Amino acid sequence: ETGVTQTPRHLVMGMTNKKSLKCEQHLGHNAMYWYKQSAKKPLELMFVYNFKEQTENNSVPSRFSPECPNSSHLFLHLHTLQPEDSALYLCASSQGGEGGSGANVLTFGAGSRLTVL
């Protein structure tokens, strides 16, 4: 266990389904992130929450909806997805805030592999 747990690890859904990805961290971190990882592409930052406040939304389509009820839990709600949304979705956490390396080192979960049919 890396300290960041993601469920489910694998998800197959149709384009009309609604599902949610869950992330939980036990590290006492204050920042949580959603990233999309596609084969042979750089990690794409989707959303950032710092102290439960959303601080980044990188032009992500509205069919992806994040929720951060507290500093330990992060959700990604999915609805009416497209086949091109199939990817590995990684959750990460960090100490939070700006500054040096300690605040910005990310601890990742193992990811949720999403397939949209």
Partner 1 sequence: GQNIDQPTEMTATEGAIVQINCTYQTSGFNGLFWYQQHAGEAPTFLSYNVLDGLEEKGRFSSFLSRSKGYSYLLLKELQMKDSASYLCATMDSNYQLIWGAGTKLIIKP
Q: Which residues bind partner 1 (CB under 8 A)?
A: 2, 4, 40-43, 45, 90, 98-101, 104-111
Residue 87 CB neighbour total at 10 angstroms: 19
Say if residue 42 is preceded by a cis peptide, omega within 30 of 0: no
Q: How far apart are CA 23 and CA 7, in angstroms?
A: 7
- Cβ–Cβ < 8 Å for 4, 106: no
CB of 63 vs partner 1, minimal distance in Å: 23
* Least distance from partner 1 to the Cβ atom of residue 101, Å: 4
- Of 105 and 117, nearer to partner 1 (C-beta) is 105
Q: Which of 48, 68 has the CB closer to partner 1? A: 48
Q: How far is the CB of 18 from partner 1 (least distance, A)?
A: 26
Pick between residue 16 and residue 100 the one whose CB is nearest to partner 1: 100
Closer CB to partner 1, 42 or 83, in the complex: 42
User: Nearest distance from residue 80's CB to partner 1, in Å?
Assistant: 28
